[in-house]
Chains A and B, each alone.
Chain A
Amino acid sequence: MAAHRCGLSLVCILFFSSLAHPSRCDTLEKANDNTATKRSISEVNTDGSVAGEDMNERQWQSTDVEVNRSDGTKNSETFTPAPAKDQFQEELVIRPLHSGDIYASFQFRTLWDTDFLQEGQKKVSHYRLFPKSLGQVLSKFSVQELHISFTQGFWRTMQWGQPFIPSPPGAELWVWFHHTVSDVDGNWKELTNVLSGIFCASLNFIDMTNTVQPSASFKPLGLGNATDHRFLRYATLPREIVCTENLTPWKKLLPCGSKAGLAVLMKSEKLFHSSFHSQAVHIRPICQDEQCTSKAWELRQTLNVVFDHYTSGQGKKEWSLFKMFSRTLTEACPLASSSKVYVDITDNPEGELFELSPATPLLSQAVVLGDRRTYSVYDLTRAETFGQLRSFNLLLRWKGDSGDMLRPLLHAERYVAGFGLQTGEIHTVIYNNHPYRAFPVLLMDSVPWYLQLYIHTLTVTSKSRDNKPSYIHYQPAKDRHRPHLLEMLIQLPPHSMTEVTVQFERALLKWTEYTPDPNHGFYVGSSVISALVPSMVAMSTNFTQDQPLFSSFVPVKEESSYFVRVYTEPLLVNLPTPDFSMPYNVICLTCTVVAVGYGSFYNLLTRTFQVDEPSPPLAKRLANFIRRIRGVPLLA
């Protein structure tokens, strides 16, 4: 590399010498005969001042530099490129779900053998496959690990099973900062603002009132066993609506954009016409090899979508790539080192349930989420995948009825109970569907400050018996400053339902703190349940590069269990909503009361009193009137 660079700089100098005007050199020689060293410098260098000789003030100007056009060609003949330090992989997994829906999961991975957190002079600034905007963010804010997801819709675990990478509805962002960062809160604030610019999302609404520092639930997924949760920030925006304006910048981060490869399929009108859509970016440092001698940065972009063709498509369960995405594949991204489409055919080993066309001889087995699954593999880097038509349209035809789905071992749901606008109760129900194994789960709840939790009412019951959590981390909220954070380690008995309840009181907000549509209610983010679920089959713990991407996201530490994260539904809570003309009314009423009080006081002070002859009563006056008419003397 160094020799190569030397050669280039030599070329650079030679090039400059060809630029020099011979006449100018002559005069210089004469002028500088006493300073020989100076002359030698001036001979090899001229500035680019030849440029712009006859500029005029057009908007677009041609740049006039004399260029020796012949060189460079010789160079390329002997040129062999240095091995690239970055690589790109893409893959699509399609899983027919038992409900008749189709789950499609895209994963794009960029690996770069570099270190963004390098200290000192050598900053990373030359990008090839890794997006520059994200790289700059990483090095500016000293980010160790970054996970961001935008989700529209709710993943129905009971119907669909576990997703490859789970995400809560709305936006979720969690970041581990490097341990050298001194002002973590300042960095976090700035980072959320920058990311909201990059992804066109309202992440700038993340502030201290919805940021927490979970102590156990969110461990780094990459290298670096950071345990000090001071460097972790976690926030969700359950209200965030995800749409095309978030998808476009996400697609722009891909090296091939949406011009080639699997990303061609991402047509927003189809992707958002679905029951579930989730896009995410995960950045973390990982090991380059099994011995972990060198570090590489991994950017994983995932997009998960569930199409409900069964209900919307006249009850037909057939699908094809064209039907789902209204596009077909014609080529792999030329920059990708691997580009594959996987179709889950575990339920269909003999081909009796459905038929895939075109058929593929390639099969792959992977242990995903505690289950051994079989996949048909289509390798897009091979020309025969595309066949005669130069286009790849995967088609699935159902023959029989699909069987029953294995119930997911871990499942959770949540709801608000109670009546009225003063108090309420949050119920979180966690199911362990494992027939005979008990396992612990970490439950994390982040509740905004305006729901004032009564932590003494916290009860955890399983099988109608009190289940005492073995670890509780509770951070009470501060009004307008930070939310409640409740983390508990709960042991789930086998085949059981565990219910966690806590009562709360609704706070009154200041009138400026209400959202523009306060009667819609206020969102409370999903609870997060993280667990190591006992696996039915042995998980593979060895680290190999050629594992499919979808099975290699969460590092597996032991064979007997696998890591699962389950998000519950977000809650929508109604708060007591005032009449918003209230401030004006209050001012008016107060002023009127003051004015009335003042008026009578003023009256009392300034009125002149004088003794007045009491006027005769009405009867007497009437009598006198009659008497006057009759000419009788009046009454006294």
Chain B
Amino acid sequence: MIKCTNLFFISHVSPGPCCLLQAEKQRGRYAALAIAAVVIVVGIPLWWKTTETYRAWLPFSEISELDSLQLQLSVDIEVVFSRGTLTPEQQKKFPLSHVNEKEHQVDVSIPELLTSPSTEADLSLHMLSESSCGSVVVYVIPETAALLPEDVKVYVGQRRTALLRSPPFKSSWSLKEVLSNLDVKVEQVVSTMSFSHQDIVAALSNRVRMAKVTKESMADSMRAIKSSPGYEITFSLLNPDPRSHSLHWDIEGAVQSCIQPLLNKLAPIANFSVDSQILYYVVLGVNPRFDNSVSAYTLSADSLSHVINPVEARLGSNAASSNPVLNFLLYVPDSHHSPLFIRDHSKREVPSNAFHSPRWGGIMVYNVNEMYGPEAEPPVDININMAKVMGVFLAQLRLMLGVQHTHPPTGFVLQSPGSAGLADWELDRLLWSRSVENIATASTTITSLAQLLDQIGNIVINDNIAQQVSSAVTSLQSAVAELEAGNLAFALQYSREAILASERAFFDPSLLHLLYFPDDQKFAIYIPLFLPMCVPIVLSLLKIVSEAKKRRADKQAKSD
């Protein structure tokens, strides 16, 4: 009983009112600190986590490596010395392989590595040997051989082979000297048959601006349609006057016999689909001018650019696929405007009566007024000579596809391609530039995507996009590695995969969902929560700090 009162007494009296106040103030201070700690440690991260956008991990470091990509292209060159070109002495001293490195210094530093493991073999045995895609076999024949005519130094065949007339060797030369003597020639052959510096630079022109590109290779690359997994080739017969002309064209047969062999040959590059249509009452955008001197209508080269627009509205887009379309139009002028001829800039008539527009297609004007007399009753049935038409369209198609016209150095003779319309080495040339172009395009797409995602912080990055990006990056890396190893076919395949994956990632619609919900709006919405919560916390923290300062000052004053 006494204890009890005692206790009561102690609790009530002993500390005194001042101490009690101190303890109460201390408790309040601790509570404020604890709440502030909970808000900072639990609350803010929880809010951050629940309101943040999902962003999957992207291989940014590898992508930035792609930005400064070093391309190394290597070509397998087999140099075959035929009997009589080397002395037995030189044959003995033959090393197993001889690597010749050659670097072209380009602004973006693309060293091209030329490897030439040389072996000796018999000419006749290997004449018809199949070499792998992208490689080149050079047969060196004695200077005096009668195989090539006098003035021909190099003969390039339909396959991947070339005959090279050897320059005179001194029998005292070591093999090294012989080879170094051959080097210039071999390099010329390779730049004709696989790729030249210019081609590669032109293929990269989208990615890097360079002053060194010649006008011509630039024009070539501008003319050729961009690399794509597939192309739609559409032949359209434009008949503006169905009342007087009833036109018939055997497009099916012509495509089978003229276009299809080329497309079969080009199958490794892309999928091609061919279709055709006949459009009636289509008019050109310009009125041709009548020229009295030739009693014919003429279209000058300056007005050609206005021709297409009204025609294009009728061509119809390709609804079923999103591949680029190459249009080839055959325009048969109506009877009041025939014959119609196209004149080039120097006012000469164009013999083919055709013209083309880079990356779009070609138009050929086909005059039919000579095919019937005035007594013929309209509509006149006219059969179109498809061989004539297809010859022009085939030439235009080659240009559009980027089968570049090579300018061999003097003394070179190029075998004409076979029935396919494309020699193996021409295909290789195309494959080389296409793979480089694909790699350039894919890496540009990926880097710009990464840049975009990096800059705009509230874009959602889903897992599928991250997966596409990383598969694009790995394909790109393997494509570069394959190019380095000289496996052209694999390099092309990987570069195509890279392009597909990068485009899929870039154009994924899920990237756009939260694009227009910036952070400042998020903060604005939560201000009614933040303001009343933070003001007391901040105020009491300030108070605690100021009290602590005051106490320290007091203590200092006391000690003084």
Contact = CB atoms under 8 A, between A and B. Distances in A.
A281 B526 CA distance: 53
Nearest to B220: A55
B391 A15 contact: yes
Interface string A580-604: 0000100110111011101100110
Contact of B257 (A8, A129, A610): A8
Nearest to A596: B532
A334 B243 contact: yes
Given A12-B258, A125-B273, A602-B35, A194 B320 contact: yes
Contacts of A53: 405
B358 interface: yes
Interface of B: 17, 20-21, 24-25, 27-29, 31-32, 35, 127, 147-149, 152, 155, 158, 163, 215-216, 218-219, 222-223, 234, 242-243, 246, 248, 250-254, 256-258, 273-278, 280-281, 301, 304-305, 314, 316-321, 342, 344-345, 350-358, 362, 364, 370-372, 379, 381-388, 390-392, 394-396, 398-399, 405, 413, 415-419, 421-422, 525-526, 528-529, 531-533, 536-537, 540
Contacts of B277: 126-128, 132
A73 B370 contact: yes
Contacts of B344: 62
Contacts of B24: 608-610
A545 interface: no
A225 B278 CA distance: 33
A246 to B, nearest CB: 16
Contact of B149 (A27, A55, A71, A602): A27
Contacts of B280: 255-257, 259, 335
B540 A48 contact: no
Given A28-B415, A606-B32, A47 B354 contact: no
B254 A12 contact: yes
Contacts of A34: 127
A8 B253 contact: yes
A8 B319 contact: no
Contacts of A615: none
Contacts of A52: 395, 399, 405
Contacts of B251: 126
A68 B27 CA distance: 107
25 contacts: A11-B386, A15-B387, A41-B418, A42-B158, A51-B405, A62-B342, A63-B364, A65-B352, A69-B388, A71-B388, A72-B371, A75-B383, A82-B248, A127-B275, A132-B275, A136-B275, A256-B280, A257-B314, A591-B532, A605-B31, A605-B32, A606-B29, A606-B35, A606-B540, A608-B25
A67 interface: yes
A346 to B, nearest CB: 35
Nearest to B274: A125
Contacts of B17: 610-611
Interface residues of A, number: 98
Given A9-B256, A66-B351, A133-B318, 5 more contacts: A38-B158, A257-B281, A592-B532, A599-B532, A603-B536
Contacts of B532: 591-592, 595-596, 598-599
B415 A42 contact: yes
B351 A45 contact: no
Contact of A65 (B216, B395, B415): B395
Contacts of B25: 608
- For the complex of A and B, 9 pairs with smallest distance between CB atoms: A48-B395, A595-B532, A72-B385, A51-B395, A591-B529, A125-B275, A259-B281, A591-B528, A57-B219
Contact of B392 (A35, A63, A79): A63
A610 B20 contact: yes
A260 B317 contact: no
Nearest to B372: A76
A57 B221 CA distance: 10
Contacts of A129: 278
B276 A12 contact: no
A603 B24 CA distance: 13
A256 B282 CA distance: 9
Given A45-B419, A599-B532, A126 B252 contact: yes
Q: Tell me which of A34, A41, A335 has the highest count of chain B C-beta atoms within 10 A of its own C-beta.
A: A335
A8 B398 contact: no
User: Looking at A62, A73, A81, A599, which has the most chain B CB atoms within 10 Å of its CB?
Assistant: A62
B317 A197 contact: yes
B281 A67 contact: no
A4 B256 CA distance: 13
Nearest to B234: A132
Given A125-B276, A334-B243, A607-B28, A42 B416 contact: yes
Contacts of A62: 301, 342, 344, 350, 352, 354-355
B23 to A, nearest CB: 9
Contacts of B215: 56-57
B305 to A, nearest CB: 5
A127 B276 contact: yes
Given A51-B396, A67-B351, A606-B540, A12 B273 contact: no
Contact of A128 (B278, B392, B395): B278
A14 B387 CA distance: 9
A45 B321 CA distance: 34
Given A73-B371, A607-B28, A63 B362 contact: yes
A47 B278 contact: no
Interface stretch (A16-24, A149-157, A314-322, A395-403): A16-24
Contact of B275 (A80, A126, A605, A607): A126
A470 interface: no
A630 interface: no
A509 interface: no
A544 interface: no
Contacts of B533: 595, 598
